[in-house]
Structure 1
Amino acid sequence: MSPKAGPAETRDFYIGLTLAVSSSIFIGSSFIVKKKALIKLSTHSTRAGDGGFGYLREWLWWAGFLLLAFGEFCNFLAYAFAPATLVTPLGALSVLVAAVMSSYFINEALNLLGKIGCCLCILGSIVMVVHAPEEETCNSLEELGRRLQDPAFITYGVLVLIMAMLLICYYAPRYGQTNILIYITICSVIGSLSVMACKGLGIAVKEFFEGKPAAQNILTWICIFCLIVFITTQMNYLNKALDMFNTSVVTPIYYVFFTSSVILASCILFQEWMRMNTQDVLGTLAGFGTIISGIFLLHAFKDVNISWTDLPSTTRSNDKNGSTKNTTFLSLNHVDRNGGNHLIEDEEVTLLDDLESGRIRENHK
C-alpha cells in the first residue's frame, strides 16, 4: 500500500478492500449452494455437464445464483474503488470459504494439508494487501477509451477471443467432461475481459455520481454489453465444471487461472504495476505465490486421508535400567488397487535406543 496516497485514496482503498472481502464470502458460499442444487438434480434430471438446464427450475440453484450475483455486485463496486491488482487476488478467500463449507455441507473432506493451504491463502492475501498499489491509474472514461486503443491490449483481446472460441467449439464437446482445464480455461480467459469491462463500468458509475454525463458515453454501454455476454459465458461453463468435477478441485484451479489472466490483462490495460516500486512488486508477487502454494495444497492432496494424529510423534521415556528409550509412532496409509486412500491400520513401530546400556554390542558379540 503506497504511503504517499492522500486521505481520499486511502478511504477508497479500504472501501474497495472491504467490498472485495465481502464479495469473496458471498461467492464462496454460492459455490456450495449451487453444488448442492446440482447434486439434488443429478438424481432425476439431465446433468449440467451433459447439456441439461434443469437447474433453472430448482430454487436452491437460484439461491446460489443470487448469492453469486450479490458477491459479483460487491466485486464490481470494489473495482470502482481499488485497483484490480488488489481486488482480484483476494478472490482466494472465496476458495477458503468454499473449502471449509464443502467439508460441512456436502461432505467433501478438508484434511490437514487443506487447512494449512487455507492458512497460506490468508497470509498471502494479507501480504498482497500490504503491497498493493493504492492510487488509481485510470480514473475517467476518456482515459479508459485511450487505453483500449492500445495495440497491446487489442492483441490480447483478439487472442483471448480466438482461444475461447476454439475451446468452446472444438475441445469442450470432445474433452470437457474428462479434462477439468477445458471448462476452467474458458471461464478464466473470458473472465479476464469481464473484469476489465467491470472496471470500466465502475469508472462510469463513479462519473455518473460525480455529475458527469457517463450515461451518454458509448463506452459505458459497450462495457455493459460485454459484461453481460462474458458473465453469461462464465456462468455456463462454471456450472459444467462444478457438475462434472469436485468443488475442492474446481474452485482452486479456477482461482489460479482466473487471477493470473486478470493480472495479465490489468498489466496490459491499466499498467498498475508501472507505479509500484521494486519492493511492492516483489511483495505482491510473493503474496500471490503464497496464495498459489495454499491453493496447491488444497488441490493436490485433497484425497489424502491425513490429520494431526497421522503425523509421526516421538516421546522419550526411561526403562528400568535408566537407559533412554525413543519411541516413534507412525500411522501408515495404504492405497488399495482401485486408487482409493483408506486408513487400513495403524502400525506401531518402536525404536529402542540401547546404545548407552551396551545391549546391542553384546548381541553382536
Structure 2
Amino acid sequence: MAMAETRDNVIGLILAVSSSLFIGSSFIIKKMGLKKAANNGKSAATGGHSYLYEPWWWAGMISMIAGEVANFAAYAFAPAILVTPLGALSIIVSSVLAHFILEERLHIFGMLGCALCVVGSTSIVLHAPHEKDIHSVKEVWQLATEPGFIVYICLVAIMVCVLIFRFVRSHGQKHMMVYIGICSLMGSITVMGVKAVGIALKLTFEGMNQFVYFETWIFTVVVIGCCLTQINYLNKALDTFNTAVVSPVYYVMFTSFTIIASIIMFKDWAKQEASQIATELCGFVTILSGTFLLHKTKDMGNKPADGAVHSTSEDPDDNTKTPQSQTNQI
C-alpha cells in the first residue's frame, strides 16, 4: 500500500511539473502569436481579434489547455498540498523563457518581487484549509447558493463590471492590474464551476448521469462564460505589458481569490487553528509586498540603452510610442 501511494505521488508530481512547464510556456508562445498578429492587423490591446488567425497563438492555447488537463489529472494521484504549490513553477518557466526568447528583462528588484510572490502564495496554499468531499452536483449547488457565497459572487460581479465599463478604456493600457484583476476575479468563480462540472463528469462516467440536472448545465455555462472573459483580458494584458511581470502577478491574484472563494463556499475556515490563520495572513502580506515591488519595477529592466528613452513618451506603459521606440523597448 505504501509503495502504491508513493508511486501515485510520483505520478502526480510529474503531472504537476509538466502542467507548470506547459502553462509557463503558453504565456510566451501566445505573446509571440499576439506580436505577429499585431504586425498584420489590429492588436488585442486595442480590441482586435486578428490573433485568432495566428498559428502561434493557437499553439499557446493548446499548451495552456494541455497544462490545465495535466494539472487536473495530478489531483487524481497526489494530494493538493503537493500539487497546488507547484503551480508557482509556471512563473519561473515564463520568466526564464521571456528573458531569453522575448528579451523582456526583469530588474533585480523584479526578481525579488517574483520570489516574494512565490513564497507568499506557497505559504497560503500550504496552510489553506482542506475542501470537504463533494459527492453530487446538487451538493455543490447547495453550497453555491448559500448566502455567504452569493454575497461573494455579487461582489465579484460588481467589481468586474466596474473594471470593464469604467476602467478598461481609460486605464487598461496603463495599469495592468485592471486586466489582471478581471481575469483573477473571474478565475475564482471559474474554479468553483470547474469543480462542479468535474464532479458531474466523474459521477456520469461511474454510471450516475448528472447531466439530467439543470444545475450541471448552469455550472457549465458559467465555466464557459468566465473562461472566455479570462482569455480575452489575459490576451490584452500579455499584449500590453511585460510577460515576466504579468505571469507572477496573475498567478498570485488568481491563487488568492480562488482560496478566498473556496474558503467561503466550503466553510473549511472553521476547522483552522490560530497558527494556520496567522500564517495565511503573513502569506497575504508577503504577496502584497511582492506584487507592489513587481508593479513599481516592471519597466526598470527594459530601459533603452542608447538614449532611445528620449524618443518615447514619459509614461512607460503608454502605447502611443512610435514603432521604432516600441522595437527598442522589446
**TM bucket, shorter chain:** 0.7 to 0.9
- The question of 1:22 aligning with 2:18 is answered yes
> Number of residues paired by the alignment?
308
Q: Deviations over 1:232-270 (max 9, x none)?
A: 110001101111112122222222322221111111112
Larger Rg over CA atoms? 1
Q: Distance in 1 between matches of 2:229 and 2:143?
A: 25
Structure (1 or 2) with the greater strand fraction: 1
Compared CA separation, residues 142 and 78, structure 1 to 2 (3 A)? farther
Greater Cα offset, 10-19 or 172-181: 10-19
Name the residue aligned to 2:322: none
Residue in structure 2 matching 1:231, options 206, 227, 230: 227
TM-score, scaled to structure 1: 0.70
- Residue identity opposite 1:143 in structure 2: E
Gaps spanning 5+ residues in structure 1: where? 1-5, 306-335, 342-365
SS in 1 for 2:40: coil
Q: Deviations over 1:79-125 (max 9, x none)?
A: 66778887666533222211111001100113444445555566556
Residue in structure 1 matching 2:66, options 43, 65, 70: 70
Q: Deviations over 1:299-342 (max 9, x none)?
A: 5434446xxxxxxxxxxxxxxxxxxxxxxxxxxxxxx888899x
- The question of 1:35 aligning with 2:31 is answered yes
Name the residue aligned to 1:249: 245
- The question of 1:94 aligning with 2:122 is answered no
- Residue identity opposite 2:90 in structure 1: S
Name the residue aligned to 1:166: 162
Name the residue aligned to 2:186: 190
Q: Distance in 1 between matches of 2:91 and 2:292?
A: 11
Q: Distance in 2 between matches of 1:95 and 1:243?
A: 17
Following superposition, the deviation at residue 192 of structure 1 comes to 0.9
Q: Deviations over 1:39-65 (max 9, x none)?
A: 222223211111111111111111001
Report 1 or 2 for greater relative contact order, CA contacts < 8 Å, sequence distance ≥ 6: 2
Compared CA separation, residues 186 and 75, structure 1 to 2 (3 A)? same
Compared CA separation, residues 174 and 80, structure 1 to 2 (3 A)? farther
Residue in structure 1 matching 2:136, options 131, 137, 140: 140
Name the residue aligned to 1:266: 262
Name the residue aligned to 2:146: 150
Compared CA separation, residues 74 and 225, structure 1 to 2 (3 A)? farther
Q: CA RMSD in A?
A: 3.7
Q: Distance in 1 between matches of 2:158 and 2:130?
A: 34
Asked if structure 1 preserves the Cα contact closer than 8 Å seen for 2:17 and 2:89, the reply is yes
The percent identity for this pair of structures is 48
Asked if structure 2 preserves the Cα contact closer than 8 Å seen for 1:21 and 1:90, the reply is yes
Q: Distance in 2 between matches of 1:14 and 1:137?
A: 23
Compared CA separation, residues 210 and 242, structure 1 to 2 (3 A)? same
Name the residue aligned to 1:104: 100
- Residue identity opposite 2:216 in structure 1: T
- The question of 1:178 aligning with 2:165 is answered no
Compared CA separation, residues 229 and 82, structure 1 to 2 (3 A)? farther
Name the residue aligned to 2:327: none
Q: Distance in 1 between matches of 2:158 and 2:74?
A: 29
Following superposition, the deviation at residue 127 of structure 1 comes to 4.9
Q: Distance in 2 between matches of 1:60 and 1:200?
A: 32
